[in-house]
């Protein structure tokens, strides 16, 4: 079988017309170059060069092989350059999945940072429920997924879950519409309650998510367990609509704490008695080595979680990052 080093030697001799000078260009000893040409001729069953006093010229077989050899060498160089680009993250793609509540918070921050660092890598986002995302991951339709769990971590065959953070659910209201009840002085001089119980929340008109949302199922379960019936003002909305409806004062809503970041039109109040939390996990295949781009995306997820949950930040009291040994120790 023809080898690339044999073709490179053949092309150099054909171009230069001299074995010694071709060997010098390739940093080879002339006997090594001659052996490569002889081996190539033996493999092809044809002589490639005519040797004469003025140097070497191509035979008919050599004339046929030369353009083929140059194409093959060019393809090999292009393949190496593209592989180097992928390894250096100058190109590539990442397919990331996340539920809507994370797409408007954590994922937006992760993608902004990743895009700035690696503008040549294409990003494809799938927005769906956690269970659908895990199915897509195991069908190789995604490289990575973020999924939400509550309580005991579920066993998902073929998938590894890396805990990222524990996040409280909070009650959001319009910035200009304080919740009823005894309040604390705010910076703007208004008074708002520092906390609200589930029983108190049940008496306030709410904007409720579509029942396909994991978040809606969790809050409905909490009300049912406590023997409460919530007051629903608007029902069946998607994430963006819920946030806009609350900003317009149509009601309050229960959302993860991270959703409120950089939304001055919303105010959050801690939900207590009971406190509701969820765990955000990075899901990845256990039987597939991540690409360079996917591995880089993993690190950006870890770094963004650390930044959002760092002491002194707005979310520090509502979000707790998983320990470095848990999240990073599991990273490949």
> What is the number of domains present in the chain?
3
Of 68, 87, 106, the one marking the end of a domain is 87
Mean pLDDT, range 4-21, rounded to an integer: 93
Asked if 80 and 154 sit in the same domain, the reply is no
Q: Is the pLDDT of residue 185 over 60?
A: no
Residues 241, 267 share a domain: yes
Domain annotation covers residue 82: yes
- Residue 301 has φ and ψ, to the nearest 5°, of -60, -50
Q: How far is CA 21 from CA 11, 29, 155, in A?
A: 13, 10, 65
- CB burial of 225-254 (b: ≥16 within 10 Å; e: otherwise) equals eeeeebeeebeebebeebbebbbeebbbbb
Range with lowest mean pLDDT among 57-71, 111-125, 228-242, 282-296? 282-296
Q: Are 204 and 179 in contact (CB under 8 A)?
A: yes
Instruction: Tell me: do 68 and 118 sit in the same domain.
Output: no
Same domain, 193 and 235: yes
In sequence order, what E strands does 194-249 have? 195-197, 206-209, 232-237
**184 within domain boundaries:** yes
> Do 228 and 188 share a structural domain?
yes
Q: Distance between CA 259 and CA 243 in Å, rounded? A: 9
Is 332 within a domain? no
Average pLDDT taken over every residue of the chain: 86
158 and 9, same structural domain?
Answer: no
Tokens of 11: 């092309």
Range 56-62 average pLDDT: 94
What pLDDT is recorded for position 308?
85
pTM of the predicted protein model: 0.71
Q: Peptide bond preceding 274: is omega within 30 degrees of 0, i.e. cis?
A: yes
Q: Look at residue 231 and tell me if it is in a domain.
A: yes
Residue 142 belongs to some domain of the structure = yes
**Domain carrying residue 99:** 92-163+280-327
CATH code, domain with 146? 3.40.190.10
**Distance between CA atoms of 201 and 253, rounded to whole angstroms?**
9
181 pLDDT higher than 90: no
How far is residue 42 from each of residues 20, 35, 36, 294, measured CA to CA in Å?
Answer: 21, 10, 10, 45
Token code pair at residue 178 = 């304080």
User: Looking at residue 329, what is its pLDDT?
Assistant: 43
Decide which of 323 and 107 is more confident: 107
The pLDDT value recorded for residue 183 is 45
State pLDDT tens for residues 245-256. Answer: 999 999 999 999
Please compute, for residue 1, the number of CA atoms within 13 A of its CA located in the half-sphere on the CB side.
2
Please give the pLDDT value at position 277. 92
Check whether residue 158 and residue 287 sit in a common domain: yes
Q: Answer yes or no: are the C-beta atoms of 255 and 105 closer than 8 Å.
A: no
Residue 187 sits in the same domain as residue 233: yes
Q: Indicate whether 267 and 194 sit together in one domain.
A: yes
Out of 127-131, 182-186, 205-209, 313-317, pick the least confident: 182-186
How high is the pLDDT of residue 251? Answer: 93
Cα distance between residue 305 and residue 302, in whole Å: 5
Of residues 155 and 63, more confidently modeled: 63
* Structural tokens at position 144: 């990575």
Closest CA relative to residue 143, chosen from 157, 122, 163? 122
- pLDDT (0 to 100) of residue 280: 92
Q: Which of 331, 232, 318 is nearest to 277 (CA)?
A: 318
pLDDT of residue 38: 94
Residue 222 lies in a domain: yes
Greater model confidence, 188 or 113: 113
Q: Report whether 128 contacts 99 (CB < 8 A).
A: yes
The residue ranges of DSSP E strands in 80-158, in sequence order, are: 92-98, 121-127, 144-149
Lowest mean pLDDT segment, chosen from 90-104, 157-171, 229-243, 306-320: 306-320
The residue out of 87, 117, 137 marking a domain boundary is 87
My answer on whether 259 and 119 are in the same domain is no
CATH for 58 = 1.10.10.10
Percent of the chain with pLDDT over 70: 90
- The structure tokens listed for 180 are 């009823």
Is the pLDDT confidence value at 271 over 90?
Answer: yes
Question: Do the domain assignments include residue 266?
Answer: yes
Percent of the chain with pLDDT over 90: 53
What CATH number is attached to the domain comprising 245?
3.40.190.290
Co-location of 293 and 242 in the same domain: no
Residue-level pLDDT at 289: 82
**Does 158 share its domain with 285?**
yes
d(Cα 162, Cα 327) in Å, to the nearest integer? 6
- Per-residue pLDDT at 140 exceeds 90: no
Q: What is the pLDDT of residue 154?
A: 58
Flag the least confident range among 154-168, 169-183, 211-225, 306-320. Answer: 169-183
Tell me how far apart the alpha carbons of residues 198 and 195 are, in angstroms, rounded to a whole number: 10
What band does 151 get if pLDDT is binned at 50, 70 and 90?
low
Residue 189 has pLDDT above 80, yes or no: no
Among the three residues 36, 56, 87, which one is the final residue of a domain in this structure? Answer: 87
pLDDT band at 180 (very low <50, low <70, confident <90, very high): low
């Amino acid at each position: 079988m023809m080898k690339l080093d044999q073709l490179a030697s053949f092309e150099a001799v054909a171009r230069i017309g001299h074995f010694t000078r071709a060997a010098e260009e390739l940093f080879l000893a002339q006997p090594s170059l001659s052996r490569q040409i002889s081996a190539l001729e033996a493999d092809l069953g044809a002589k490639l060069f005519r040797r004469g006093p003025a140097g070497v010229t191509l035979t008919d077989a050599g004339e046929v092989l030369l353009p083929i050899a140059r194409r093959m060498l060019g393809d090999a160089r292009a393949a190496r350059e593209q592989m180097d680009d992928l390894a250096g993250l100058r190109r590539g793609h990442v397919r990331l999945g996340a539920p809507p509540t994370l797409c408007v918070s954590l994922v937006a921050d992760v993608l902004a940072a990743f895009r700035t660092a690696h503008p040549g890598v294409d990003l494809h986002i799938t927005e769906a429920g956690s269970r659908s995302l895990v199915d897509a991951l195991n069908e190789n339709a995604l490289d990575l997924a973020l999924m939400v769990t509550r309580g005991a971590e579920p066993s998902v065959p073929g998938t590894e879950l890396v805990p990222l953070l524990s996040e409280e659910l909070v009650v959001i209201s319009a910035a200009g519409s304080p919740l009823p009840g005894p309040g604390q002085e705010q910076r703007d001089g208004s008074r708002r309650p520092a906390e609200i119980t589930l029983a108190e929340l049940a008496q306030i008109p709410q904007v409720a998510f579509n029942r396909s949302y994991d978040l809606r199922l969790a809050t409905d379960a909490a009300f049912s367990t406590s023997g409460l019936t919530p007051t629903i003002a608007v029902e069946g909305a998607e994430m963006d609509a819920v946030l806009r409806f609350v900003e317009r004062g149509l009601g309050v809503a229960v959302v993860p704490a991270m959703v409120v970041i950089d939304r001055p039109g919303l105010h959050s109040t801690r939900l207590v008695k009971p406190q509701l939390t969820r765990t955000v996990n990075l899901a990845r295949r256990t039987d597939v080595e991540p690409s360079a781009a996917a591995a880089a995306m993993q690190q950006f997820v870890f770094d963004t979680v650390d930044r959002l949950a760092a002491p002194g930040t707005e979310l520090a009291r509502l979000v707790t990052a998983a320990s470095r040994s848990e999240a990073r120790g599991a990273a490949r």
